[in-house]
Structure 1
């Protein structure tokens, strides 16, 4: 795996983890017996930063690793639904899209 591929994999993992934290925080905010907003307050900004970092790193990786247009578009779309960046990163790794060309 190339250094840029490692950065993409790391940021994809962080984006997914902050998504999970935000979802858990939202559960406790809206569905817990004693609602609390601490999870949303912590993971909301963290996920916002992770999302923006993922978008920037995805564009950089697409250019540096010469991804086809469909791979770059799919990687950007994967940031929207919860936890999709992880399986996408695993699939990209198996296809060799995270390796240097």
Structure 2
């Protein structure tokens, strides 16, 4: 899977889970379906974390500056903002190219972040496994802390 396709998939998934969360909130507050936000929020939260990690990995691979990477992550906070941002990235050519598994003469390829990315890209099963475990640990930690605004009594 190319960086472009991976990013597009997660950007779309993030938007879809916003819809799930919004519908869940409507069900909770309009129809009294209390569990809807727990389920919808959990799905959205897991995909949010997955999108954020994907934005960082793809951003480093595509040599985005720190501001663009941060903005990519922040677009997940605004409902549906990942879609126009992804379209902008495509239009500007910021998602073109394959995974950078080899060091090049580019100045950024000499830093430790890019070296670490290349090392993990050479071991995709390990990268995916650590990503899934890392996301699950963060997700579980956030569940223990509780939802934004706290739990209702």
When Rg is computed on C-alpha atoms for both structures, the one with the higher figure is 2
Aligned residue in 1 for 2:51: 54
Contact kept in structure 2, 1:22 and 1:47, CA below 8 Å: yes
Which TM-score applies when normalising by structure 2? 0.59
**Residues 73-95 of structure 1: per-residue CA shift (max 9 Å, x gap):** 21011011111111111111111
Distance (whole Å) between structure 2 residues aligned to residue 86 and residue 9 of structure 1? 8
Deviation at 1:100, TM superposition (A): 1.2
Q: Secondary structure at the match of 1:100?
A: coil
Which TM-score applies when normalising by structure 1? 0.87
Q: Report 1:88-99 matches (<5 A).
A: 88-99=85-96
Higher relative contact order (CA 8 A, sep 6+): 1
Deviation at 1:51, TM superposition (A): 0.4
Higher alpha-carbon deviation: 38-47 or 76-85: 38-47
Contact kept in structure 2, 1:21 and 1:39, CA below 8 Å: no
Q: Report 1:10-89 matches (<5 A).
A: 10-30=9-29, 32=30, 34-89=31-86
CA-atom RMSD in angstroms: 1.6
Aligned residue in 1 for 2:8: 9
Distance (whole Å) between structure 2 residues aligned to residue 87 and residue 37 of structure 1? 32
Aligned residues: 98
**Residues 29-86 of structure 1: per-residue CA shift (max 9 Å, x gap):** 11x2x32134323321111110000110000001111113332121011011111111
